[in-house]
Structures are given as structure tokens and as C-alpha cells.
A and B are shown apart, each in its own frame.
Chain A
Amino acid sequence: MRNVIGLRNGEAQLIEHDPWQLLREPGEVLPDGLLILPLATWIARRAQRPLGRDGLWLGPDDDVEPLRPWLAQVPLIAVDFPSFRDGRGYSQAYLLRSRLGWHGELRAVGDVLRDQLSHMRQCGFDSYAVREDKCAQDALLGLAGMSVLYGRSVIEPRPLFRRR
């Protein structure tokens, strides 16, 4: 994928040569390389290539629970934001991280824009495929957000009243 920002050890950086290809609706024949696939395709391909390192794509309507049995074998999950105004991905990220305890790379894909990056970071995303017509360098500026979080989040599970 292009235009990807990654958090590596807490440092944000542009990923120069991101190896992933996102296939929301994969055809019969899959291309070579590292793919991000819907669960059904992912499971079918797994049967053929048990050592594959493909990632999983989660659509906005998808539940996270069906991913549970496969989490140990998945290096990356991409959560889709069909529009930046559609906030379901934030709750999916919360559940993947906090409920399912998943620690691999969590990538925001779709309508991913500068002014939402800090919220995504708070909800546990650690890579962001910024919309391709936008400047990823510029989007980096949106990652920090505010210094104060009243409530809690995936990366800061204690509400402010436990930190005050």
C-alpha cells in the first residue's frame, strides 16, 4: 500500500516500501505477495498455504469475534473506514485490542485523514494508510492530537481521574 504511516516503537514514520496489498473483494485468482483479505478468503487460502503470512481485512459491518481463532497466526489486521464520518472502526479497534488482546499491526484503511489520526492512535491503531490523494507527510501532523485525555482509551486505559 502507498501513503502509509507507521508507529514503530512509538515513533511515527512514513513507510517507504509497504509490502501489503489490500483486496476488499478478491477474485478467483490471487496475486503474489503479502495480501490483506476478508476472513472467508483468508481461511480458504490458509488451507492451501499453511505457512502464509497474509493479513485480515475487517469491513465496517463485520464482527470481530469470528477472528478470534486465527489471531495467533495473523500479522496484520486492516479496519476499514468507508467514510471518515463512519466511526465503527474505532469500536472494532477497541474490541480487537482490549477484548481480544491482539497485539499485531492494526491498520486503518479507507477514508483515513489527518484530523482523525489522533483518535485512531488512541483506539489502538498503529499504522494508517492515508487516503491516496492526501499528503501523508502533512497527515503526520495530526497524529499527536491533544495532551489531555479525560476518559480512557486503548493506549491509556486509565481515565484521567486515576492519573490526576
Chain B
Amino acid sequence: MYHYDEYDRALVFERVAQFRDQVRRFMAGELSEEEFLPLRLQNGLYLQKHAYMLRVAIPYGTLGARQMRTLAQIAREYDRGCGHFTTRQNIQFNWIELAQVPDILQRLAEVEMHAIQTSGNCVRNITTEAFAGVAADELLDPRPLAEILRQWSTINPEFLFLPRKFKIAICSAIEDRAAIMMHDIGLYLYRDGHGQMCLRVMVGGGLGRTPILGLQIREGLPWQHLLSYVEAILRVYNRHGRRDNKYKARIKILVKALGIEAFSREVEEEWQHIKDGPAQLTEDEFQRVAAAFEPPAYDSVIDDDLAYDTHLAQDHAFARWVACCVKAHKVPGYASVVLSTKPGDASPPGDLTDAQMDAVADWSEQFGFGEIRIAHEQNLILPDVRKRDLHALWRLACERGLGTANIGLLTDIIACPGGDFCALANATSIPIAQSIQRRFDDLDYLHDLGELSLNISGCINACGHHHIGNIGILGVDKNGSEWYQVTLGGAQGKHSTLGKVIGPSFSAAEIPQVIEQIIATYCAYREQDEAFVDTVRRVGLEPFKERVYAKRPEELICVM
């Protein structure tokens, strides 16, 4: 893990002092609400329906055990014993008192954390995939460049008041688990034919009101030019992005208006001025940061473990959990474990209690090297678990409600906090997720259905990434009541696709039945082990529409 040096430490502590003073001035009436707003947003503080919400940055989704325990303490002492992990690998606390925020930030700074730029019209938390450094299909470790970008974008004075928020993700594996095409800038790191580390740069992706996949602006950018190239993109955007309408202010709208060729030319011209300047990264700096991500001291063991194999053969429930929650590791004898935060009715997707956070911190030390990852699907990952320990960990996880064997399955639902918390939401998300989870609570059936993502957003801002769910559900407002629009065929990864709306929206009560009809249609059309999204791609939306909108679904079954 990256550890702060004196510069990093000085910056976060000075920032706390600065914000403490800004909070004081606001509470004393010296700063107006309008003046305070961007200041608090750039320190992660939102005003929601019932209280302030604090969003804490978890850079590229990596946490240490000590940091996790601090989050547990904050949940216990300043919130209602709970935290919510988000689709951008951060954590949110929903019941925060303004006057206590400086103290919370101070606690965070003491364990090398902060909430800087987790909101506001600036460069947000840099994200990567949750298995960085350990995934079996990884090409290069994306974390050093993610950390370098994190530093460079933190309080970068020219780019703190952009037209709109700006999200950057970086990935370097065969599978794109960081959803880079859904970002304002998506970076794909690889080695070119000469063995040089290079970047493919995508620009203008994003979900929200106008979902667009990012377009490639550059191939083969030598890594040394990462900062100057991003700077060139940001400068063009800062000068020319729209500011008259917040719904048209993201960079995707500028890229679309100019066209990718014209936009590229602008960026290229700007970049020519700065590319060989002092922003050019040095080998020394790369090595300094990369040293923080050296692999831990793995035991050298053979891949097979007799006790593990025995458990697999004898314990059906364990085997089922391994099948979907245990992921291949680079190092023989090790695996990465995904802890599901989606047990169903018991708790909303992404939520962890303080006790669960403490338990995860303990396990990360007991069964690993004290490191925890947050996936953008809102689950937690223990990256380095010995195979022989998997059974013990599974039993502990089950006791704590974190051992549900549903990763990648229908009930592994991504959901934003929705109308229960968020002031922007048109509709609730969590009750919808729970109603679906209740309807599909048979694990064997879920495993038979196989890989299937279901994403829910409570409004068009799309924090629940509904566009890229195989099944997407979007809360919409119709004359003051809550309705839900359903999309099918969305996908993330290298073959990213935006889902298509199947027709008129539904009431909350209808949703479980609608999902059931969609699943029944899939089962009727599925060929062998075909995944849900592949069936949708092959047969199109029509069969699904017919069944879902048929007045009497029983009759349809007879016809088929």
C-alpha cells in the first residue's frame, strides 16, 4: 500500500485546518450558503434529505486494516453505526453533524485518509479495478499511475472549478473491471510491441442523463506523458465545456458537439506545448511510487491444498460460495475473496455496520497482509487469502452476514442510496432491491441462472449504473409518484453496452413480477449455458417485451 510521506501528511492536515475554519465561518454567518457550498462539496460533504452526508475517498479502492477500523469508529461515534460503500469505491456516512466534520476529517488524516474532491466540479477519486496487483489476468499494475494521478489532481489550482465533475479510471487487465469506458477519461495501460508501458486514452464516457461510451482519443501514449496529456484534455474542457446548463456540462457533451476528431485536434495542439515540459513523468518518480505496491511476502506453496479440496468435495454450500466469490490469483496457493454486501433483506447493497467493518479488518490481518479492496459493485475484497484458509474465512464471513454466495448473480444488485437518503432521487432504490432479493432467495436457482447483473438508480444521475446492468432499473417521477423504467442488455467491461428501455415503466409493486417474467423469458430462450446478456443480444428485446407486457402471462407460456 502507498504510505504518506511528510508532504502527503502536511497536505491532509492543512486541509483539515482550512476546512475547520471554513465551517466555523459558515456557522458564524461569515460565509453564505452559496459560498460555502463548493467548499464543503470539495471536502466530500453533501446536504441530503435528512442530514449531511460525508463521502470519504478510498483512492483506487484500497484500504488498510487500520483505516477500516477508523471507518468503523466513525460509523460508531459520528453516524448510526453504518457506512455505505459506493460504486466509485468510496464510503459514505449518511447521518453526519456539520459541526463534527472537522473532527472526523482529523481522524481520517491520522490514518492517511481524506475526503478531498469526493464531490464538486473537479477531478474526483481516481478509480481502478478491485483486483489490481493480484488478478490472474492482469497485464500491469495500474496502482502506481493511479496514485500519481491522485496526487497530481489533488488541489490542482487550475482545475478546481471545472464545468462539471470529472471522473478518471485506469485499468490494465484482460477483463475491464474498472468500467473505463464509462468515465470522463478512461485509461487502459498495456505494453506495446517494444515492451514500453503505454496508455490507450478514452474520453467522453459517462452515464447520467446522456449515457455515452467513451471514444478513443489516443493509442500508444507513452506513460511518461500521462500527466501532460490529462492536463491538455482538462484545459480544453475547462475553457470550452458548457457552463450554461449543468445537464450539458460534462465533457461528453463537448466531445459530442465538436466531434471526436476536432476535439482530439484541440487536445493535441494544447499537448504539443506542454508534452516535453516539467510535467513529464520520470522513471525515479514512477519507481518511488511503484515501490509502495511491491507484492507482499507470499509463502511459496503449491497450488493444491488437500484440506481445501476435501472441503470443496464435501461441503456443497462452501463449493457454491467458492464458485462465485473466490477469484483466481497470480500466486499459486492464493486466491482473492469477494465478500458480498448483498445478503438480501437484512441490509441494503453496499452497507456495512461498524462491527462488520471491524471484522473485515481482523480477517484482512488474519488471512492476508492487512489489505482490503472495495469493488465498484459495492462488495469488499480480501485480495490475498491462502486457499487452505478459505473454508475458515467462509464460516466467519457467513456468521457476519458477509458470506452470501451471490457474487455476479441476480441478487448481487448495485443500487444507489436512492430516495431514502438522497435529495436528488426521484424514487427509492433500496426497497426495490430488497423486493427483488426476496423474490429470488433460492441460491441454487440463482446459480442455475448464472451470471447476471442488475443495477438500480433512483434517478437519472445514474449512481447505480443502471445503463450497464444486464437488467437496469431507473426510478422516474410521474406526476409526483414513483415509477420504474426497465432496460435490458447493458454490460460493462471490454464489450460495454448501454441497455435499451423495454417499454412503459412500472410501479414498485410490479417490479418483482416483471423481473420474474424477464427471467422466465430468458430460461425459455436460453441455449445451453448461454449467459443472460448473450441471450438478450441474440434474441433481441421483443420476446421479453411480449411476455412482460402481456396481460395474462399464463397464456403466453401455452403459446410458446
Closest to B238 in A: A91
Name the B residues within 8 Å of A132 (CB-CB): none
CB–CB A115/B35 < 8 A: yes
> How many interface residues does A have (CB within 8 Å)?
34
Mark interface residues in A95-122 (1 if CB within 8 Å of B CB, else 0).
0000100000000000001011011101
Does residue A34 face the partner (Cβ distance < 8 Å to B)? Answer: no
CA distance A90 to B158 in the complex (A): 5
Mark interface residues in B277-293 (1 if CB within 8 Å of A CB, else 0).
11101101100100000
* Given known contacts A87-B238, A148-B7, A161-B282, A115 and B22 CB-to-CB distance under 8 angstroms: yes
CB–CB A149/B227 < 8 A: no
Chain B binding site: helix, strand, loop or mixed by DSSP?
helix
CA distance A146 to B12 in the complex (A): 10
Indicate which residue in B30, B152, B162, B273 contacts A151 across the interface (CB closer than 8 Å).
B152
Does residue B243 face the partner (Cβ distance < 8 Å to A)? Answer: yes
Closest to A93 in B: B158
CB–CB B158/A91 < 8 A: yes
Q: Nearest Cβ distance between residue A117 and chain B, in whole angstroms?
A: 11
Closest to B289 in A: A161
> How many interface residues does B have (CB within 8 Å)?
42
CB–CB A157/B277 < 8 A: yes
CB–CB B278/A152 < 8 A: yes
Within 8 A of A (CB), among B240-282: 243, 273, 277-279, 281-282
CB–CB B18/A152 < 8 A: no
Indicate which residue in A85, A90, A123, A149 contacts B155 across the interface (CB closer than 8 Å).
A149
Does residue B39 face the partner (Cβ distance < 8 Å to A)? Answer: yes
CB–CB B285/A91 < 8 A: no
Closest to B231 in A: A151
Q: Nearest Cβ distance between residue B452 and chain A, in whole angstroms?
A: 42
CB–CB B121/A85 < 8 A: yes
Within 8 A of B (CB), among A108-164: 113, 115-116, 118-120, 122-123, 138, 146-153, 157-162, 164
CA distance A162 to B38 in the complex (A): 31
Does residue B97 face the partner (Cβ distance < 8 Å to A)? Answer: no
Does residue A53 face the partner (Cβ distance < 8 Å to B)? Answer: no
Does residue B14 face the partner (Cβ distance < 8 Å to A)? Answer: yes
CA distance A71 to B429 in the complex (A): 57
Indicate which residue in B7, B10, B15, B148 contacts A164 across the interface (CB closer than 8 Å).
B7
Q: Nearest Cβ distance between residue B93 and chain A, in whole angstroms?
A: 24
Mark interface residues in B218-251 (1 if CB within 8 Å of A CB, else 0).
0000000001000000010011000100000000
Indicate which residue in A84, A116, A153, A160 contacts B158 across the interface (CB closer than 8 Å).
A153
CB–CB A90/B157 < 8 A: yes
Name the A residues within 8 Å of B156 (CB-CB): 150-151
Name the A residues within 8 Å of B284 (CB-CB): 161
Does residue B513 face the partner (Cβ distance < 8 Å to A)? Answer: no
Name the A residues within 8 Å of B39 (CB-CB): 115
Within 8 A of A (CB), among B273-325: 273, 277-279, 281-282, 284-285, 288
Within 8 A of A (CB), among B137-181: 148, 151-162
CA distance A5 to B157 in the complex (A): 19
Name the B residues within 8 Å of A119 (CB-CB): 157-158, 160
CA distance A91 to B152 in the complex (A): 16
Pick 25 A–B contacts, CB within 8 A, sort by A: A86-B243, A87-B162, A88-B238, A91-B235, A91-B239, A92-B239, A113-B35, A119-B160, A122-B157, A123-B158, A147-B11, A148-B8, A148-B10, A150-B152, A151-B154, A151-B156, A152-B279, A159-B278, A160-B7, A161-B148, A161-B282, A161-B284, A161-B288, A162-B278, A164-B5
Binding site for B on A (CB under 8 A): 84-88, 90-92, 94, 99, 113, 115-116, 118-120, 122-123, 138, 146-153, 157-162, 164
Binding site for A on B (CB under 8 A): 5, 7-8, 10-11, 14-15, 18, 22, 30-31, 35, 38-39, 121, 148, 151-162, 227, 235, 238-239, 243, 273, 277-279, 281-282, 284-285, 288
The 10 A-B residue pairs with the shortest CB-CB distance, nearest first, are A87-B161, A122-B157, A119-B157, A161-B285, A148-B11, A150-B151, A151-B156, A90-B158, A151-B152, A91-B238
